[in-house]
Amino acid sequence: MTETDGPLVETRGVAKSFSGVEVLHGIDLDLRAGEVHALLGENGAGKSTYAKILAGVHRPTRGEVTLAGQPVSIGSPLEAQRLGVTLIHQEPLSFPHLTVAENLFVGGEDTGVLGRVPWRRMAAEAERLIGALGVTIDPQAVMAGLSIADQQMVEIARALASDTRLIIMDEPTAPLTPREVATLFDIVRRLKAEGRAIVFISHRLEEVRALCDRVTVFRDGALISTAPVADLTDDDIIRLMIGRPLQEYLHKEVASLGDEALSVSGLTRGGAFADVSFSLRKGEVLGVAGLVGAGRTDVARAIFGIAPAEAGEIRIHGKPTTIAEPDDAIAHRIAYVPEDRAIAGIFRTLPVDQNITAAAPRSIGAGPFISPRREREIAADAIDRLSIRLASVHQPIGELSGGNQQKAILARWLLTDPEILILDEPTRGIDVGVKAEFYDRINQLAAEGRAVLLISSDLPELLTLADRILVMSEGRLTGEFSRAEADQEKIMQAAVPRSAA
Amino acid sequence: MSATETFDAAKARPLWHRIVVRPESVTLLLLIAAVFVSAWLSPFFADLRFVLESATFYIEFGIIALMLTLVVVSGEIDLSVAATMALSACLFGIAHRAGLGMPVAILIGLGSGALMGLFNGVLVTVFRLPSIIATIGTMVLYRGIAQVIAGDRSVGGFPDWFVGIDFIAVGIVPVPVIIFVVLAILLGLVLGSTLFGRQIYQTGTNPIAARHAGIRVDRLKMILFTASGLTSAVGGLLMASRLGVVRYDLATGGELQVVLIVMLGGTYIFGGRGTIAGTFLALWLLIIIQTGMTVANIAIEAQLTVLGLLLILAIISANAIYAGGRR
């Protein structure tokens, strides 16, 4: 497969502008066959734009791309596919109602007479491709019924169907469980051994360290540095990414604990979680660890009234409470920053100020009417306090970067002056700089005497911030550790389902 | 500061752009153009009185379109409005014929309309049916019931004071036009300036996020559907007054007229965007164009063609403007 000694892909001076603003400045980069190359950088640093140029989604404004020594122009994803370049999206962009086999051959010209579909040959070929990845997925299964991990595998199999030489993975591990990540890594290593080039975009340094050969760091649309992973420490990488050393990135301020703010006992909802009991005190950060699908989010949604529990009791400040709707939860001064910002958080096309004030309508109301002046003031104040970066409060929130959207959602809940905050994966998919701001903020919220329930799949994050960590597995609590006794190994032991161990 | 800020700043549209470039502006431009063309085609158009009198044929749909705007902004649709007009008007007519007296008959008409709207709301929020399906169902159902109870005959014999509301005018402005204008101001305030209106936009933009933010989405939709039914009943009574009789096939096909007005006004069919001002302007656009073409002796088929083209133009421009604002 390695036909030349030179790099498989070379880009020289590749730049991209959107509506006159250059977002990517003259990138010179080589990608070699048989290497896994990490692209790192804060959101908006230009790494995804660069990846999309390679994949034919964007055309470069200037600069050139050579593939195996030949200058190429990659005008569309289909052309990229013909040249052997495939982009695997984080959330696979497949056809959810078609079967795995049909998805594998979408875009193929392999039809029979009059465009007849060779179903039998397709099924056999699908079986072969999926088998080659060492995973078991039924080719006749409907795509929508698969886990995200399996959908990714199908995308990878599709890349292999067209004999791909360069595979670009844009944050593939974000939605995966640790075990699925391990499977993905095995496959990536196999693809590498076959002499393919892999570009791996991720926010997780430990993954980059485990998998990648070289790292390229992007910042502000420019390439800052390319080096072998082994030559850089984590601190080096973070400094390159944010352009300054990060002091006290991981720190905890221990707040004094007050009375019990929230307790649940025997909380149960069929198929989601069973017999969950815990209590949370004022000033405490209670971490909840577990694999994706362990029921952590379901418990949060039950407490917040989105999908209430069928059995069990919720007490707020010791008083038994019924919460049937989020509205009830808000009345009891509970706030919930949801896991999926795009679906359950933002109003994409509405202005930033209207997004920020959404959960505290009374603060901007004058009787039934809205006071635009008060809304503007309150929003401006929140934007200032959380240092949300934006051009105007009238800007649709969808125009902001992910980290700033997340800050706006946090601002929305802080306006309700909550006593109990449930944060569900608050820093997922946001870059290191903003993450540090969130850590400071969570410390501060606890110091103000608020009770924080922090659900996170990022173990270092939990170990840093939490006073106590609960572990859930398959809908049940399987562990509880104090700050002193918790470590990654103990938590994972409790998180991995017994039945499957 | 990082580059994110400069990118955001570069992408933001200037304020004047946000204010001027919006779908209602397109409706306004079309309206102005239509006035000039009509005035050029026929000298009658110099006469405001003539325009206002012509308006009474369309005003019933206009009133319903105002309320439907709120429903569409919330992310739903109500296609049963014309059938609701017919059934509530028939119930009113039959109640009157049964000797219940006008006040009671009117209350029955209005109350039944509200109930029909409430039923739509139940189908959508309790049974979780998509409103387009649910209200196509009730559109047929309500019309069917109207036919069963009213039969094939006209029901009339209303007292003189009730008949011909379109001929009663304050100055040169007919009463139905006044009702339309007052309702437009009222609903414009509700949608544009109240917390409830804000919740309508938020629900239409992202119902899941709306619920997470503590908005009682189902209750909000129930209120809107009920109000839509009630408004349709008002439209039905106005039409009964104008025609002097009610029949089961009153306002047949009216739902399309109403939806056309809402769309012409630049309201986004998938919810979250639209204004009462747009719908208000769109009704006048429709009136000017229809009467303008009639006065200019343009055949009815050609009129439909023009309306169709206009609607497509309005939708294309609204989509283009919304797509521009999204990025």
The per-residue pLDDT for range A430-474, each reduced to its tens digit, is 777 788 889 989 999 999 999 999 999 888 889 889 999 999 988
In this complex, the residue of A348, A368, A391 whose CB is nearest that of residue B205 is A348
Burial of B26: CB neighbours in 10 Å, binned 0-12, 13-18, 19+: buried
Mark yes or no for CB contact B5/A348 under 8 Å. Answer: no
Query: What is the crossing angle of helices B102-125 and B81-97, to 10°?
Result: 150
- In angstroms, the separation between the Cα of residue A151 and the nearest Cα of chain B is 25
Q: In the CATH hierarchy, which top-level class contains the domain A257-333+418-501? A: alpha beta
DSSP annotation of B128 reads: -
- In angstroms, the separation between the Cα of residue B186 and the nearest Cα of chain A is 13
CATH topology for A9-242 is: Rossmann fold (3.40.50)
- CA–CA separation, B52 vs B48, rounded Å? 6
- In angstroms, the separation between the Cα of residue B205 and the nearest Cα of chain A is 6
Q: Closest Cα to residue B235, out of B159, B278, B179? A: B179
User: The tokens 């190429």 sit on which residue?
Assistant: A72
B174: number of Cβ within 10 Å = 22
Which residues on chain B are in Cβ contact (under 8 Å) with A359? Answer: 213-214
Mean predicted confidence (pLDDT) in B73-81: 97
Which residues on chain A are in Cβ contact (under 8 Å) with B5? Answer: 389
Which residues on chain A are in Cβ contact (under 8 Å) with B199? Answer: 361
User: The tokens 């005018």 sit on which residue?
Assistant: B169
Mean predicted confidence (pLDDT) in B298-323: 82
Mark yes or no for CB contact A370/B215 under 8 Å. Answer: no
pLDDT at A170 over 50: yes
Q: What is the dihedral of CA B269, B275, B278, B280, to 10 degrees?
A: 110
Shortest CA distance from B206: residue in chain A: A347
Q: Closest Cα to residue A269, out of A244, A288, A241, A297? A: A297
DSSP annotation of A344 reads: I
Mark yes or no for CB contact B322/A349 under 8 Å. Answer: yes
In the predicted model, what is the mean pLDDT of chain A?
Answer: 86
Mean predicted confidence (pLDDT) in B103-131: 97
Residue B67's pLDDT is what? Answer: 98
Mark yes or no for CB contact B273/A400 under 8 Å. Answer: no
Which residues on chain B are in Cβ contact (under 8 Å) with A411? Answer: none
Confidence of residue B3 (pLDDT cuts 50, 70, 90): very low
Using an 8 Å Cβ cutoff, are B197 and B77 in contact? no
Contacts of A381 by beta carbon, 8 Å cutoff, 6+ apart: none
Instruction: Kindly state the helix (H) or strand (E) to which residue A265 belongs, with its residue range.
Output: strand A260-269
pLDDT at A106 over 80: no
Mean predicted confidence (pLDDT) in A471-491: 89
Mark yes or no for CB contact A370/B6 under 8 Å. Answer: no
pLDDT 10s digits, A21-57: 778 888 999 999 999 999 988 766 788 889 989 988 8
Residue B14's pLDDT is what? Answer: 64
pLDDT 10s digits, B30-47: 888 888 888 787 776 667
- In angstroms, the separation between the Cα of residue B8 and the nearest Cα of chain A is 6
Comparing A52-56, A176-180, A225-229, A425-429, which segment has the lowest mean pLDDT?
A176-180
Sheet containing A197-201: give its strands across. A85-88, A166-170, A197-201, A36-40, A214-219, A222-228
pLDDT at B168 over 50: yes
Q: Closest Cα to residue A201, out of A186, A190, A216, A191? A: A216
DSSP annotation of B166 reads: G
Mean predicted confidence (pLDDT) in B223-238: 97
Using an 8 Å Cβ cutoff, are B95 and B108 in contact? yes
Residue A128's pLDDT is what? Answer: 81
Mark yes or no for CB contact A396/B325 under 8 Å. Answer: yes
Residue A6's pLDDT is what? Answer: 78
pLDDT at A309 over 90: yes
- CA–CA separation, B322 vs B327, rounded Å? 9
- In angstroms, the separation between the Cα of residue A434 and the nearest Cα of chain B is 11
Which is more confident, A167 or A159? A167
Using an 8 Å Cβ cutoff, are A289 and A493 in contact? no
pLDDT at A179 over 90: no
Residue B302's pLDDT is what? Answer: 82
Residue B55's pLDDT is what? Answer: 86
The reply to whether A257-333+418-501 shares the fold of A9-242 is: yes
SS3 A67: strand
Mark yes or no for CB contact A358/B273 under 8 Å. Answer: no
Top mean pLDDT of A169-173, A257-261, B103-107 is at B103-107
pLDDT at B1 over 50: no
Residue A499's pLDDT is what? Answer: 52
Q: Where are the domains of chain A?
A: 9-242, 257-333+418-501, 347-416
Mark yes or no for CB contact A347/B4 under 8 Å. Answer: no
Residue A177's pLDDT is what? Answer: 75
pLDDT 10s digits, A381-431: 999 999 888 888 888 898 888 888 999 999 999 999 999 999 999 988 777
Which is more confident, B54 or B158? B158
pLDDT at A134 over 80: no
Residue A468's pLDDT is what? Answer: 95
Residue A131's pLDDT is what? Answer: 80
pLDDT at B6 over 50: no
Token output for B60: 């019933």
pLDDT at B27 over 70: yes
Mark yes or no for CB contact B4/A370 under 8 Å. Answer: no
Sheet containing A9-18: give its strands across. A21-31, A9-18, A62-67, A70-72
pLDDT at A497 over 80: no
Shortest CA distance from B202: residue in chain A: A347
Using an 8 Å Cβ cutoff, are A86 and A167 in contact? yes
Residue A262's pLDDT is what? Answer: 94
Top mean pLDDT of A84-98, A428-442, B81-95 is at B81-95
Top mean pLDDT of A73-87, A153-167, B42-56 is at A73-87
Q: How many CB pairs under 8 A join A and B?
A: 125
Residue A114's pLDDT is what? Answer: 59
Q: Where are the alpha helices (DSSP H) in A306-347?
A: 326-331
| Percent of chain B whose predicted confidence (pLDDT) is above 90 | 63
Confidence of residue A111 (pLDDT cuts 50, 70, 90): low
Mean predicted confidence (pLDDT) in B86-91: 97
Shortest CA distance from B214: residue in chain A: A327
Domains of chain B, with CATH numbers?
45-326 (1.10.3470)
Confidence of residue A113 (pLDDT cuts 50, 70, 90): low
Which is more confident, B207 or A244? B207
Which residues on chain A are in Cβ contact (under 8 Å) with B8? Answer: 389-391, 395, 399-401, 404
Confidence of residue A3 (pLDDT cuts 50, 70, 90): very low
SS3 A142: strand
ipTM reported for the complex, 2 dp: 0.87
- In angstroms, the separation between the Cα of residue A201 and the nearest Cα of chain B is 19
Query: What is the crossing angle of helices B217-243 and B102-125, to 10°?
Result: 140
Please enumerate residues of B whose Cβ is less than 8 A from a Cβ of A: 1-12, 15, 18, 193-196, 198-199, 201-202, 205-206, 208-216, 272-273, 322, 325-327
pLDDT at B326 over 50: no
Predicted TM-score of the model (pTM)? 0.77
